Structure 1
Amino acid sequence: MLPSQNRLRRREDFAKVYANGDRFRGSHLMLRVLVTQAEPDIKIGIVVSKKVSKLAVSRNRFKRQLRAIFRQVLSQLRSQLKSGLQIVVTVTTQGQPNYQQLCDDLMILLKKAKVWQNGS
């Protein structure tokens, strides 16, 4: 579970990120990033639709894996991330990528989105 201060929860917050955020597409994931000055914390939301899998077990597995990846990123690299980020990760793949493939895809997308302090 992500810490409470790092979760994106409300429908309005998701809608704001979808409407105003920048999009980055990977092989398994799509990342939407919105930089806000109002909130200093990094907020993360994870979306897995029924188009990806009709089985709740599969959708929940994706969410668990992505939360674990974000926990690792936040614990190790929090000081290197920009503040005020709102991130929504959407799983777009029909297949069943493993944990390492999801992790690699997410890290590539975070670099594309330039969410690091030094811009890379």
Structure 2
Amino acid sequence: MALPKANRLKSRKDFQAVFREGTRRHGFYLTLRALKPQHAKQPSLDTATKNTQVTDSAHLASTRVGISISTKVSKRAVVRNRIKRQITAALYNLLPKLSPGWRLVVVVKPTAAESKCVSPQFLQELEQLLAQAEVFDGHS
């Protein structure tokens, strides 16, 4: 199951912002980078930037997620893509529980490729990391 387009982190600028400003939570298989939603924007005088701020706040309405998996995890694209699909499926199931506005990047560690039975462990660790980062609804 693919994530809806509204919930995907796509641009390089977004990934860089999460890596630069986001908090980190480490697990055995994954590292989670989470950037909190920013409610207060800086006021500006330019009308062009006001228009972009409106679209930015509309963008922040849904939690957006990106997955980063390098060739250090596995040289084989088949293995990397399988891991990515499993993480995407786990995130798809967790999406309704997440607070709106977060930008998340899931970084896969090389230990993930060594594990044979990946799916239940990924789901459990991903839930644990999201709970530590307080991304679930009910945390602020």
Q: Same fold (TM over 0.5)?
A: yes
Query: Which 4+ stretches in 1 moved above 3 angstroms?
Result: none
1:33-112 superposed matches below 5 A:
33-37=34-38, 38=57, 39-74=60-95, 78=96, 80-94=97-111, 95-96=114-115, 97-112=117-132
The one-letter code matched in structure 1 to 2:99 is: K
1:117 CA drift (Å):
2.7
Structure 2 spans left out of the alignment, 5+ residues: 39-56
> Sequence identity, in percent?
40
Give the CA deviation at 1:29: 0.2
Check conservation: 1:27, 1:93, Cα contact below 8 A. Answer: no
TM-score (norm 2): 0.78
Are the counterparts in 1 of residues 73 and 109 from structure 2 also a CA contact under 8 Å?
yes
Distance in 2, Cα, partners of 1:36 & 1:42: 9
- In the TM superposition, residue 116 of structure 1 has moved relative to its aligned partner by 1.9
Which residue of structure 2 lines up, in the alignment, with residue 9 of structure 1? 10
Return the alpha-carbon distance in structure 1 between the equivalents of residues 33 and 137 of structure 2.
18
Q: Work out the CA distance in 2 between the residues paired with 1:49 and 1:99.
A: 19
Q: Which structure has the greater CA radius of gyration?
A: 2
Give deviations 1:6-28, integer Å, cap 9, x for gaps: 00000000000000000000010
Question: Which shows bigger deviation, 31-40 or 57-66?
Answer: 31-40
